[in-house]
Amino acid sequence: SCQQKIAHACPMRSAPTFTAVVLIGFLLAYQFTTNPFLPDTEKQLNHKWQEKGTIPQSKFEEIWPTLQDKLCPNYDPRYQLGSRLFMAARREMNITDWKLEGGNEEWFYYGYFIEPAIFYGHSRNKKASFEYVRIWKAANSQILLWLEKNFHKANAADITSSNSTPCYFTAIRDPISHFLSGYNEVETRSNNGKWWVSDEVKKLSYMKKGRQSVGSTERFNMYVHDLLTASNFHPWWLHMHTNSMSRILPILKNEGKKLDGYLSSIENITSTLLPFINTTCPGILNSTEAHSKMEVMGQHTSSKDPFNTYAAAKNVWKENGPTARALCALHAMDYACWRDLPDGVPQLCQDVYSSDMFLDTVKFSELIGMD
């Protein structure tokens, strides 16, 4: 499974002291008596914790395992629930008036990022095969260039006709970081004069702010607002850079495929990718073969943040305001699916997911009864 073959695991939390456990138990006992959940919901949650023989240390720890399993059971995201997450994000930004007729929600949570979406390859002796599923803004160019340099490129027909069962893998990063980096890519490409921007896209609120607004926090806020409200947002391919990373999982399932593993961080990827592949896909790397050392490759112009758009997006996130909270709501699916992120779920997102407003909007009590 992905969890067994993961390259980076979340750090273990230190055990609380006896005094802390007693205090927490008292507080939680009080919390359960004043819990905003419906009685049946409360009983089901309490029963689950009693079975585990542990006491949740926060409301987030109380509800998150259940919410995680309902949003993304066994790495199979229920992308149809995306409309509820969009609604939760709108409520965080106090958006009450919109006419979203397009498919922003499903488009955000379902599909590949690019065609060809998969790099097909063989080991040098052609006895083992693999499929790398590409995700934009998760070291895709870096990984792709290295694979092309070190492996025999194949195609879908070659993989199907070979005797080996292909190994499926990808690389991801923290979901919020992925969105911020994706926004920077969108702005860099749409403002460097090299990419065509349609008249429909120019009608979006963030675009109508004009070139003078590029690099401002206000423009990033409007970008998120447009994603949540504008039907003309989703057809433009550049906007896909900010889509949910877990969108690849349901389409893989529909094609009869499933990841054997994923690299849970792109930090230090030049030193972590090879050990990850060796562990996840035995036989792909033959220890007797000299594969080239991975160098830094495929850097985009956006990596230098030429328009200050990455910095602006990061500043909005650091403010912990309505837009940042909306981003948490949007990425609940990602945090539910990718369970081995080194830093886990950010504290702000923990606060959002355990809030009454979020739980009410996603109909948490209804989700609990879902198989």
Measured between alpha carbons, how far is 325 from 328 in angstroms, rounded to an integer? Answer: 5
Stretch (H or E) spanning 132: strand 129-133
Average pLDDT for 323-338: 99
Preceding peptide of 116 cis, ω within 30°: yes
The rounded distance, in Å, linking the Cα atoms of 182 and 203 is: 20
Q: Which residue has the higher pLDDT, 356 or 44?
A: 356
Q: What is the distance between the alpha carbons of residues 121 and 7, in angstroms, rounded to a whole number?
A: 21
More confident residue, 286 or 41: 286
Phi, psi of 32 (to 5 degrees): -65, -30
The mean pLDDT value for 54-72 works out to 91
- Main-chain phi, psi angles of 122, to 5 degrees: -120, 155
Which pLDDT value is given to residue 179? 98
pLDDT at residue 44 in the model: 54
The DSSP result for 164-198, as a single string, is SPPEEEEE---HHHHHHHHHHHHHHHHHSSSS---
Reported as a pLDDT band with limits 50, 70 and 90, residue 56 is confident
The C-alpha atoms of residue 48 and residue 215 are separated, in whole angstroms, by 47
Residue range 3-29: mean pLDDT, rounded: 42
Q: Residue for token digits 């997102």? A: 349
Average pLDDT, the chain: 83
pLDDT digits (tens, 9 = 90+) for 162-189: 667 889 999 999 999 999 999 999 999 9
Does 221 or 21 have the greater pLDDT score?
221
Mean pLDDT of 69-80: 95
Q: What percentage of residues in the chain have a pLDDT greater than 70? A: 78
Question: Token pair of 234, please?
Answer: 């989703």
Provide the whole-model pTM: 0.83
For residue 50, give the H/E element and its range.
helix 39-52
> What are the tens digits of pLDDT across the range 90-134?
999 999 887 766 578 889 999 999 888 988 887 777 778 899 999
Q: How confident is the model at residue 197 (pLDDT cuts 50, 70, 90)?
A: confident
Burial classification of residue 318, based on how many CB atoms lie within 10 Å of its CB (0-12 exposed, 13-18 middle, 19 or more buried): exposed
Residue 3 has what pLDDT? 41
Question: What confidence score (pLDDT) does residue 26 get?
Answer: 45
Long-range contacts of 96-100 (CB under 8 A, 24+ apart): 98/228, 98/229, 99/229, 99/231, 100/228, 100/229, 100/230, 100/231
**What does the alpha-carbon distance between residue 311 and residue 215 come to, in Å, rounded to a whole number?**
8
CA 166 distance to own-chain centroid: 24
Task: Find residue 261's DSSP bridge partners.
Answer: 169
Q: How far apart are alpha carbons 270 and 130 in whole angstroms?
A: 19
More confident residue, 75 or 164: 75
For residues 199 and 214, is the Cβ–Cβ distance under 8 A? no
The C-alpha atoms of residue 118 and residue 43 are separated, in whole angstroms, by 45
Vertex 182 angle, CA 223 and 81, to 5°? 70
pLDDT value, residue 295: 72
Query: pLDDT (tens digit, 9 = 90+) per residue, 288-317?
Result: 454 666 776 656 677 788 999 999 999 999
Of residues 287 and 305, the one with the higher pLDDT is 305
pLDDT of 370 reads: 76
Q: How far apart are CA 348 and CA 259, in angstroms?
A: 29
Mean pLDDT for the stretch of residues 266-293: 80
